[in-house]
Amino acid sequence: EVQLVESGGGLVQPGGSLRLSCAASGFTFSYYHMTWVRQAPGKGLEWVSYITDSSDTIYYADSVKGRFTISRDNAKNSLYLQMNSLRAEDTAVYYCARVISRRFDPWGQGTLVTISS
Amino acid sequence: SVLTQPPSVSGTPGQRVTISCSGSSSNIGRNTANWYQHLPGTAPKVLIYSDGQRPSGVPDRFSGSKSGTSASLAISGLQSEDEADYYCAAWDDSLNGWVFGGGTKLTVL
């Protein structure tokens, strides 16, 4: 069964940092591009970042560019999101998802990140 | 949101409802649209991809179409379990990233 499990969320003060992880199983992780999507409380889905299978191409949403860094370790079947200079507006549930022909399938259950003093 | 959806739609069991998604030449006009179903507290799930394709396991009550810079999701034979939030999404060539609609809450009366 294809499965994605996010971890690393929590409560952080504004200006702080957090590293999210996404553990993949049930498929050959190194063959697939991956992405992060978030949902702020009461808001819709917002795409955050994308990384190709070999990490040679990376994209970020303007709202996180320069603050967030996406990476992956194909040997560990894991995707990461390093989040620095966190702001209140970064509070959200963060989902990782596999990318297949520009669609996201499947998604993980998400991990909650709360930015508050 | 870059893609525009109605905030809410509603219908009674057995009815057919449609959800629109309006974009531009840099996203839906040039790239395929996908639709996701999201129930609170669960992982979003792809319902329709490449404008009108259904993944295996998605009932044929769900269908998608596209015309120009707009896409539509139709749900026929509405069921109570269809109550969820629905999002359209597409790659945007100008932004070099994906864009989502604001989401449409479907209520089954």
Per-residue pLDDT tens digits for B55-78:
999 999 999 999 999 999 999 999
Of A45, A102, A105, the CB nearest to B91: A102
Of B32, B43, B103, the CB nearest to A108: B43
Rounded Cα distance, A89 and A68, in Å: 14
Q: Which of B105, A37, B20, A75 is nearest to B3 (CA)?
A: B20
Rounded Cα distance, B105 and B39, in Å: 10
Please give the pLDDT value at position B66. Answer: 98
Determine contact, residues B73/B82, Cβ cutoff 8 Å.
no
Please state the φ and ψ torsions of residue B19, each to the nearest 5 degrees: -125, 125
| Residue at token pair 């896409």 | B71
Which stretch of DSSP H or E encloses residue A31? Answer: none
Distance of CA B75 to the CA centre of its chain: 10
Judging contacts by C-beta atoms under 8 Å, the chain B residues touching residue A106 are: 43, 45-46
Determine contact, residues A48/A68, Cβ cutoff 8 Å.
yes
Determine contact, residues A53/A24, Cβ cutoff 8 Å.
no
Average pLDDT, chain A: 97
Please give the pLDDT value at position B40. Answer: 84
Residue B49 identity (one-letter amino acid): Y
Q: What is the pLDDT of residues B81-90, one digit of tens each?
A: 999 999 999 9
Please give the pLDDT value at position B41. Answer: 86
Q: What is the pLDDT of residues B4-22, one digit of tens each?
A: 999 999 999 999 999 999 9
> Kindly report the CA angle at B24 between B23 and B30, in degrees rounded to 5?
105
Residues 48 to 87 of A: which have CB under 8 A from any B CB? 50, 59-62
**Does the distance separating the beta carbons of B99 and A105 come in below 8 Å?**
no
Looking at the complex, report in whole angstroms how far the Cα of residue B102 sits from the nearest Cα belonging to chain A: 5
Residues 4 to 33 of B: which have CB under 8 A from any A CB? 31-32
